[in-house]
Amino acid sequence: MNYDIIVVGGGPAGMTAAIYAGRAGWKTLLIDPMGGGGQPSMADMIYNYPGFPNGIGGPELMDLMARQAKAFGVKIEYEEVIRITQEAQDSGASGEAGLKVSTGDAEYTARAVVYAAGTLPRKLGVSGEEKYLAKGISFCATCDGALFRDKVVAVVGGGDSALSEAVFLTQFAKEVLLIHRRDEYRAGAANVKLVDQNPKIKQLKSTVVESVRGDEVLTGISVRDLRTGEVRDLEVQGLFLYVGWMPNVEPVRHLVETDEYGYVLTNEDMSTKTPGLFVAGDVRRKPLRQITTAVGDGAVAVWSAEKYLLERG
C-alpha cells in the first residue's frame, strides 16, 4: 500500500507528525506497536505537559492525540516495524525513490517516512530476569500495578520514572522497596520529596539486584549492599524496572548515523542522510527527552517531510 507519508511510532512525536500531515491533506499512515501510545502511555499521570493544570493520565493524553490524528484522516495500524529500506522502485509522483516499511505481516511504501519509534526499556541483565519477564517483572506500573494489591513489590532505578512509579504503586502494594545503585537519586527534588514522605516506600540505596528467582512466577530477588558487600534474599511478588531506555534504532540503523549510544543523529530539520527519512522524538540524540520536546520534533519533522515532497512535485 502506498502513502505520501508513513509515521512510525505512536508516541507524542509520531502523533504530532501524523496530526500535521493528516491536517495538511497528505495520505498518511501511522504504524504503532500493539498496545501503542509510546512511553507516556505507561505513565499514570503527567503533570508537566502544558494545558492540564491538574495533570492528565498518560493513556488519556495519548488517546486524545490518536483521536485527533484519526479525525484528520490518518490511518493507524498496530504492528511492529521490523525494517525500513530504500525502494529501487519509484513510488513518488515525480519518480522519486520511496521507502519501504516492513512489519511482520505487511509491507507499506511511502515517499517520506517520519521515524519516531522512541526508546525501549533497559533490562538489568541479571540471572533469572528473562524467565520472569511478564511473570512478575514489569516495565509499566500503570499497566500492571493493580495486579499487586497487598503484595510486596520492588522498583529498581533512581530517576524520575522509578520514583514517581514507586509512589504510584503504593496505591496497591503493601510495601514498595525502592532499590537504587547510588546514594543519591537522579530524580528531581519533587519526586524525591514524595518518596521521602511516603511511609509505604522502603528505600534501599547503594544496592543492586544480583538475581531474580521464582517458580512459575517471580517470588524473590537477591540484592547486594554495595557499601557492606552484604547479600540478602528478599521476598517480592513484583519487580518494576525503571533503569533507563535504549534507542529503538534497529529498523533504520543502516539508513542513519548514530552516536556512541545508538541515538540517531539528525540535522536541525530532522532530516537524515537518507532522502525522505526524517527522525523525531526520543530516538534521536537531543539534550532533553520530554513530551514537550517530542511534540516539537514531530512538527519539525513533518514540516521538513512536506517540504521534501513539495520540492519533488
Q: Contact residues for ligand NAP (CB under 6 A)? A: 48, 124, 156-162, 164, 181-182, 186, 191, 242-244, 289
225 labelled catalytic: no
Closer to ligand NAP by Cβ: residue 182 or 307: 182
196 labelled catalytic: no
Which residue has the closest beta carbon to ligand NAP? 159
- Is residue 22 within 8 Å of residue 264, measured between CB atoms? no
In angstroms, the CA 104 to CA 120 distance is: 18
Q: How many angstroms separate the Cα of 24 from the Cα of each of 4, 20, 111, 310? A: 11, 6, 15, 12
Q: Kindly state the smallest distance separating residue 163's Cβ from ligand NAP, in Å.
A: 8
Dump the DSSP string for 54-110.
T-EEHHHHHHHHHHHHHHTT-EEEE--EEEEEEEEEE-STTS-EEEEEEESS-EEEE
Q: Is 192 helix (H, G, I), strand (E, B) or coil?
A: helix
Marked catalytic residue, from 4, 32, 44, 144: 144
144 labelled catalytic: yes
Marked catalytic residue, from 4, 32, 44, 140: 140
Q: Kindly state the smallest distance separating residue 122's Cβ from ligand NAP, in Å.
A: 6
Closer to ligand NAP by Cβ: residue 21 or 209: 209
Q: Kindly state the smallest distance separating residue 142's Cβ from ligand NAP, in Å.
A: 12
Q: Kindly state the smallest distance separating residue 70's Cβ from ligand NAP, in Å.
A: 27
- Rounded to the nearest angstrom, the gap between the alpha carbon of residue 249 and the centroid of all alpha carbons in its chain is 12
* Cβ neighbours for 260, distance < 8 A, ≥ 6 positions apart: none
Closer to ligand NAP by Cβ: residue 92 or 157: 157
Marked catalytic residue, from 143, 150, 160, 282: 143
Just list the catalytic residues: 140, 143-144
